[in-house]
Chain A
Amino acid sequence: MNTAQQSMTEIVKETYQTSGHPLLDDPKMRVRGANVFYAQKQAIFDVNLDIGKNQVISMIGPSGCGKSTFLRCLNRMNDTIDICRVEGQLLLESQDIYDKKIDVVELRARVGMVFQKPNPFPKSIYENVAYGARIHGLTDNKVQLDELVEKSLIRCGLWNEVKDRLEEPATGLSGGQQQRLCIARAIAVNPEVILMDEPCSALDPIATATVEELIHELSENFTICIVTHSMQQAARVSQRTAYFHLGKLIEVNDTSQVFTNPEHQLTEEYITGRIG
């Protein structure tokens, strides 16, 4: 009775077909029929998408198309917003991440996240990187922790820049360094998937280039989903590209395919600059 009434008020679901190849064999993450609501307003419509293992997939689309919302569903960051509701099946290696039995803490350790604005904690550089390991109890002693911090910083190419000032506050670093520190902080936990929400939008071009290179290197061991408003960036760093439009997943394909030969009219209009 109650659910019947509820569905009356919901927006009538339109059926649509995602162009290209949204589905893969043996994906890292699998999304089926995902719908996201903010209170009564629907933000994501029936998205079906597979995310390949140790690949970079970029999500592009005009502002407000729901790409960030979708990204935040993948490690349940949307849980922090009271009015947000997620429907559908989202699997991480065949495990439903919205299952009641799943501990969101454990999930986020497996699916890490890097944000638009670099957000180092107001602590030392060392403490920032060590944070994840400390809360998850990943190391047994100080030596191991030192080693982990060092390794993470090395992987992010930050070690040489900060090794002499590990105890200084992280907020003193430059924007690009801060963002790489946030990535180092994320990979210190060794997640399987890293979600990146426009990680370069607050950075200058040189810092952007460094971070992009880093993303490329990391894709050997990590599955990376990156939301970007820059088509060039998508073309540079990702193997696959997903195009979102007004909450719908319009097209998914190999990046080269999307940018050279889009299947869907909307995709073409977007990449040629007619939708902005």
Chain B
Amino acid sequence: MTDSSNTASNDSMPTPVEVDQARAELAKRRAASLKKRNAAEKRFQWAGRLSIAFGIACVLFLFTDIFSKGISAFTQTYIDVEITFDAEQLGLTPQSTEKEIKAASFGSFFKKSLRAQYPEITERKAKRQLYALFTSDMPLILRNMVVADPSLIGTTQTISMIADDDFDTYYKHSYGKNLGPDEKISRLNEMQENLVHQLVRSGAVKKKFNSILFTNSDSREPELAGIKGAIMGSILTLFVTLILSFPIAVATAIYLEEFAPTNKITDFIEVNINNLAAVPSVIFGLLGLAVFINFFGMPRSVPLIGGFVLTLMTLPTIIISSRAAIKAVPPSIREAALGMGASKVQTVVHHVLPLAMPGMLTGTIIGMAQALGETAPLLMIGMVAFIVDAPSGITDPATVLPVQIFLWSDSPERAFVEKTSAAIMVLLTFLICMNSLAVWLRKRLERRW
């Protein structure tokens, strides 16, 4: 071939024969690389498939891991024990007043009753190990039973007693399984394990649905710990967040889309919203701590402040999706209303807002879901305290579900692992419900113009 850079353009036009030769040559070259190229294509596609498979595997692994750890927390081991509420021993009669009952020593009564069942246990240490199979709150529970029904005094009852977490864990995970020493999860000693064995064989040990998990609040004892307080705290916090963030976000979205003049202030607001959307949540915690608690002197650990902080945090999310919903309303509808002589406010309130509402609601639900799962800023404002009572108002000290998960996951007891996983399952269930609702709402109410 000629060196074309020096020749005139007419000479660069090859003859048909030359062209055919050149093409045959190129076809050979192409064929040589084709196999490699197709292999590269296959590899690339596989890289994509593997990436997706990795993502999905992570989802599945995460969920099965949590599920397999947490499912056992939905049952609790109970031990049927026959107890005689001996009037003499308790120093009570069926006619005793509540005050008298409360003053009675149920602690020693409980221990005595247990000892009566196992006369062969005489050693002091062994006795203590026997008591340790039951939850430490058992005397209190017995007392409350008697308070509720004083006629129990003098009768003999079979009572389902709550097993201690060590018993519970051992019975659920290791009992009756042929496990190696490394696999066995047990903090019970040999004597206790024998007792468990004896109890199981006598048919006294039962696994029942763990209603404690939903009716109790936090406790130091895993077998008595529940998420009622945390759920109440989450509900109250979310309530505050919702009634603050929804109106404010909608108002902001309407202002920015419909009323805001094009000027520096509007620009500044927009820039702020966009940047706040990406500020780490822990920073909002610092804001809450410095401004609400330190500067305004508001109380720590309360859902009200939690709601304030989460409002500031979720506002950008809801504003951005609300603006998108307003933008999606076609201008023709505004023009139609304005053309009828409606004022700008009337146009917005009567026409734009109702049409944009589904989109705004969807955004709000997603924002609420985000707020429900948020932990870090709430740690900052002290919602991380150990609180035994469920809050009843937005100014009661409370914790929330994700913080409860954090607290439990830090606890050394093995039994808290399953409790934590169970709490996560509950949290995820809430989140899945909320997100499904958002998806359903979007599908149902979505309008296409």
Contact = CB atoms under 8 A, between A and B. Distances in A.
B16 interface: yes
Contacts of B26: 109, 136, 138, 189-190
Interface of A: 54, 103, 105-106, 109-110, 135-138, 147, 150-151, 154-155, 157, 189-190, 192, 217, 220-221
Contacts of A221: 13-14, 16, 19
A137 B38 CA distance: 13
A80 B37 CA distance: 19
Given A109-B30, A220-B13, 14 more contacts: A105-B37, A105-B38, A106-B30, A106-B31, A110-B27, A136-B30, A136-B33, A138-B29, A151-B4, A154-B9, A155-B9, A155-B12, A190-B19, A190-B22
Contact of B34 (A105, A138, A157): A105
Smallest CB-CB A-B distances: 6 pairs = A137-B33, A151-B4, A221-B19, A136-B30, A138-B29, A190-B26
Contacts of A155: 9, 12-13
Interface in B143-197: none
Interface residues of B, number: 21
Interface string B11-53: 0111010010011001101111110011000000000000000
Contacts of A151: 4, 12
Contacts of B34: 103, 105-106
B5 A150 contact: yes
23 contacts: A54-B16, A103-B38, A105-B38, A106-B30, A106-B31, A109-B26, A110-B27, A136-B29, A136-B33, A137-B29, A137-B33, A138-B26, A138-B29, A147-B5, A155-B9, A155-B12, A155-B13, A157-B9, A190-B19, A190-B22, A190-B26, A220-B16, A221-B19
B222 to A, nearest CB: 55
Given A109-B30, A151-B12, A190 B23 contact: yes
A34 to B, nearest CB: 25
A70 B292 CA distance: 69
A150 B7 CA distance: 12
A58 to B, nearest CB: 22
A92 B27 CA distance: 14
Which one of B3, B22, B37 has the highest number of Cβ atoms from chain A below 10 Å of its Cβ?
A: B37
Interface string B226-265: 0000000000000000000000000000000000000000
Which one of B23, B29, B30, B33 has the highest number of Cβ atoms from chain A below 10 Å of its Cβ?
A: B30
Contacts of B4: 147, 150-151, 154
Contacts of B3: 147
A262 to B, nearest CB: 32
Contact of B30 (A54, A137, A217): A137
A154 B13 contact: no
Contacts of A105: 34, 37-38
Nearest to B18: A221
Contact of A137 (B9, B14, B16, B32): B32
Given A106-B30, A190-B26, A217 B12 contact: no
Contacts of A135: 37
Nearest to A146: B5
Nearest to A221: B19
Contacts of B16: 54, 220-221
A138 B9 contact: no
Contact of A217 (B13, B23, B32): B13
A150 B14 CA distance: 15
B12 A154 contact: yes
A266 B33 CA distance: 48
B27 to A, nearest CB: 8
Interface string B341-362: 0000000000000000000000
Contacts of A150: 4-5
A54 to B, nearest CB: 7
Contacts of B19: 190, 221
A221 B22 CA distance: 11
